Chains A and B, each alone.
Chain A
Amino acid sequence: MSIHRTDWLGALVVLAALALVPAILGSTYVTGIMTVALCFAMWAASWDFMSGLTGRENFGHSLFIGAGAYTAGFLNVNFGASPWWSLAASPLVAVAFSLVIGFPTLRLRGPYFALAMLSGAAVMQSLTIIFSEYTGGQDGLNGLFPFFDSELAQYYLTLFFLAATVATLRLVANSPWGTILRAIRGDEASCQAAGINVTFYKIASLMISAAFAGLGGALYAHYQLQVGPDLFAIILSINIIIMVYVGGMGSIYGPVGGAILLILLTEALRAFSEYRLWVYTLILMLILFFLPQGLVAPLWRRLRTIVQ
């Protein structure tokens, strides 16, 4: 699986479109929604890197998101630290969490691993609510301040980090590292027998996944200006998996498309008022049923063969 020249071209086109759309449409509403979409894209891409490649579905990705977001919240609200510190601290804290949960659980397979990660996130969510004096409980931490006063500048910052994330993850996925991760999905025992330190690769991929998820969490926190226990919720992890699936698992860029598509869809369906989520779920169902390979990645692959 190599990166064709067309892939780079396609990526540039998409990047340009993402950069121009909010500038042209101009309202805080569009810019805000796009910023949220980009954060979800980072979370989806980071999930795909670990789970898409190794086939270990992580049902608790929100653990890293919440860890990153709350780190940003604590630094900003309790210590008055500048948001720029969050960009460094959040990934580190998320990685720390990944080590704590990863070591004992990575030897688990399939549903066992999924459940273990889900439990980890659920425990954090409960703790956040119980220790409300420190975490603000259900209402969360309020009063974070943004990177810039301009929403548009904040958006471009997020876009920059998304691009960096996708580029990095793609490059690693295409390197010998990526091959090993995919081999682990195929047959872990053979890899072990061939002398590969499977544990190292599994932990490392989880750490990388966590780092980018935490980074996304920090960017999200400084957009929303609030962090709450909903960032540890099971439903968040599930929504991200849906986005990855719709985008096309294993492609890294597919999940980005899936995330942006689904976030925009939830907003675009406002016209349906109380039927909004029902219509959204219906569309989701149709996609999941008729396109088991996803929507975005297969579409791009077909486009690419036409262009070439």
Chain B
Amino acid sequence: MRQRIVSLLAAGAAVALAGSWAGAAFADEKPILIGITTAIQVQVGRDCVDGAKLAIDEINAQGGVNGRKLQMAVADEGEAAAEGPKTGIAAVNKLTGEDHVDVLIGGYDSGVTLAELPHISRAKTIYLGIGSASPAIQQKVKDDYEHYKYIFRVNPINSAKQAKGLLDYITGMLKGELGYKRIAILGENAKWVQDMVPAMKTGAEAAGLQVPIAEFFDVQTADFSPIFAKVKESGAQYLMIILSHAASDVFVKQWYDAKVPVPIGGIDVKGQDANFFDRVGGKAISEVSTNFVLRAPLTPKTIPWWDSFVKAYNRAPVYTASGGYDAVYIYAGAAKRAGSTDTDAVIKELEKTDYMSARGRVQFDDLHEVKDGPGFVNELFVQWQQNGERKVIWPKDVANGKMIMPPWLVQN
């Protein structure tokens, strides 16, 4: 009897000792907490989370960062249209104030991100933006480095640079290759578009093109027939579009159904989706849409990354997926080089980032913006062609296909 009790106590002591020793060992390995703020009810939000998760799983499988595992905490930014920025600000406060994350990754709506910035700055937490395009976000880094040094943009290229890319397309492709003399410009009335369009118009006119129409429409617009009619009447030969939150699906369907004799192209964020062509029943044929990543050998990493995302989640990624993925790796890299997660040390290392991603080579300029241009991340002009195939038709040095016309404009 006594023997039993003693051995029981001994066993208990051994277990307790082992447990506390194990506990002590793991207690040192507090995970690195990555906070994700994004609109989780929307596809771009889910892709940000999934892209980040893929990266976190890969890094953890290789041993983590500085001996610590990576862990994710997601906070919903809500839908900007319905809730305004207050849910996003609450999300930032929750992740920084309660969960004490080491880094924030996310963003989608520029208005929400801009509103979140002072709160992120107050919390002295690093923010790697992966979805908002407004230049005003990174401008703060230059205007007030001390307070906003925490803010980086990994993805996408900011809208001012995108505008330059569009102008390049207009002068090089539309005027240069196709010989067009007259174009129309149409954009949704988001702030970044309202800033972009006048610059595009001036640039196009300076290059000798006529721009009879440069108009905006409300994001909720469901009927584009007036604008198609006006464009047709104006004699424009091409319609440059800038759509992000707006109803791209309906836009192309109405364009196709009315057989508008003007080809369309430009920025169409929804048109970047791999299943966009099927979603609109093939009516997106010949639409050109800028894209940052698609299943093509942009870099040696692109196709393997694309395939591993599809394998893990059974769907094709959108641009925020590669943003979320890259942001995690970039932070992990900086933390490794700094040897710690101390914010200021990591910022110094982040500024020295040189990371080969699926989109291109990522380096930051002095505004903490991802660099664009040859060798870096590029804005590609991708066209939907027969059977939903996508071909890069511009810039010339990365093009892998010829541009086609809408089927009803093709002379037989």
Q: Are B111's CB and A228's CB within 8 A?
A: yes
Contact of B189 among A130, A140, A267 (CB under 8 A): A130
Chain A CB within 8 A of B82 CB: yes
Number of residues in B with C-beta < 8 Å to the partner? 37
A133-147 contact mask (Cβ, 8 Å, vs B): 1 or 0: 100111110110000
B:39-60 near A, CB below 8 Å:
40-41
User: Which of B6-14, B94-102, B276-284, B341-349 is the contact stretch?
Assistant: B94-102
A:123-173 near B, CB below 8 Å:
126, 129-130, 132-133, 136-140, 142-143
User: Which of B114-122, B204-212, B297-305, B398-406 is the contact stretch?
Assistant: B114-122
Chain B CB within 8 A of A185 CB: no
Chain B CB within 8 A of A107 CB: no
Chain A CB within 8 A of B110 CB: yes
Name the residue on B nearest A226 (C-beta).
Answer: B115
Q: Are A28's CB and B89's CB within 8 A?
A: no
Q: Are A32's CB and B89's CB within 8 A?
A: yes
Chain A CB within 8 A of B257 CB: no
Given known pairs A142-B115, A224-B115, A274-B41, the reply for A137 and B90 (CB within 8 Å) is: no
Expressed in whole angstroms, the Cα–Cα distance for A136 and B191 within the complex equals 7
Contact of A267 among B90, B110, B119, B123 (CB under 8 A): B90
Contact of B194 among A126, A132, A230, A231 (CB under 8 A): A132
Q: Are A129's CB and B115's CB within 8 A?
A: no
Chain B CB within 8 A of A36 CB: yes
CB-defined contacts of A226 to chain B, threshold 8 Å: 85, 111, 114-115
Expressed in whole angstroms, the Cα–Cα distance for A172 and B21 within the complex equals 67
A:223-245 near B, CB below 8 Å:
224-226, 228, 230-231, 233, 235-236
Q: Are A129's CB and B218's CB within 8 A?
A: yes
Contact of B84 among A126, A132, A142, A230 (CB under 8 A): A230
Number of residues in A with C-beta < 8 Å to the partner? 35
Q: Are A230's CB and B93's CB within 8 A?
A: no
CB-defined contacts of A142 to chain B, threshold 8 Å: 114-115, 117, 136
| Interface SS of A by simple majority | helix
Expressed in whole angstroms, the Cα–Cα distance for A32 and B120 within the complex equals 13
Expressed in whole angstroms, the Cα–Cα distance for A78 and B196 within the complex equals 22
A:204-252 near B, CB below 8 Å:
224-226, 228, 230-231, 233, 235-236
Given known pairs A235-B82, A273-B74, the reply for A139 and B110 (CB within 8 Å) is: yes
Chain A CB within 8 A of B32 CB: no
Given known pairs A228-B84, A230-B85, A273-B40, the reply for A33 and B90 (CB within 8 Å) is: yes
Chain A CB within 8 A of B174 CB: no
Given known pairs A129-B189, A142-B136, the reply for A36 and B86 (CB within 8 Å) is: yes
Given known pairs A28-B97, A274-B41, the reply for A231 and B76 (CB within 8 Å) is: no
CB-defined contacts of B110 to chain A, threshold 8 Å: 138-139
Q: Are B190's CB and A29's CB within 8 A?
A: no
Expressed in whole angstroms, the Cα–Cα distance for A137 and B188 within the complex equals 11
Expressed in whole angstroms, the Cα–Cα distance for A101 and B339 within the complex equals 62
Chain A CB within 8 A of B134 CB: yes
Q: Are B98's CB and A29's CB within 8 A?
A: yes
Expressed in whole angstroms, the Cα–Cα distance for A137 and B96 within the complex equals 29
Contact of A137 among B85, B117, B191 (CB under 8 A): B191
Expressed in whole angstroms, the Cα–Cα distance for A231 and B118 within the complex equals 19
Expressed in whole angstroms, the Cα–Cα distance for A33 and B93 within the complex equals 9
Chain B CB within 8 A of A270 CB: yes
Q: Are B97's CB and A138's CB within 8 A?
A: no
Q: Are A138's CB and B189's CB within 8 A?
A: yes
Q: Are A28's CB and B74's CB within 8 A?
A: no
Contact of A274 among B40, B75, B117 (CB under 8 A): B40
Expressed in whole angstroms, the Cα–Cα distance for A204 and B123 within the complex equals 44
Expressed in whole angstroms, the Cα–Cα distance for A270 and B367 within the complex equals 34
Q: Are A231's CB and B189's CB within 8 A?
A: no
Name the residue on B nearest A151 (C-beta).
Answer: B122
Expressed in whole angstroms, the Cα–Cα distance for A29 and B75 within the complex equals 12
Q: Are B76's CB and A273's CB within 8 A?
A: yes
CB-defined contacts of A138 to chain B, threshold 8 Å: 110-111, 189-191
Chain B CB within 8 A of A182 CB: no
Q: How far in angstroms is the closest Cβ of chain B from A300?
A: 27
Q: How far in angstroms is the closest Cβ of chain B from A134?
A: 12
Given known pairs A136-B191, A139-B191, A235-B82, the reply for A274 and B76 (CB within 8 Å) is: yes
Q: How far in angstroms is the closest Cβ of chain A from B58?
A: 23
Per CB-CB distance, the 3 closest pairs between chain A and chain B, nearest first, are A230-B84, A28-B97, A226-B115
Can you give 29 A-B contacts (C-beta < 8 A)? Answer: A27-B93, A27-B97, A28-B97, A28-B123, A32-B89, A32-B93, A129-B189, A129-B218, A132-B189, A132-B191, A137-B190, A139-B191, A140-B111, A140-B114, A142-B114, A224-B85, A224-B115, A226-B115, A228-B111, A230-B83, A231-B84, A236-B84, A266-B87, A270-B76, A270-B94, A273-B40, A274-B41, A274-B76, A277-B41
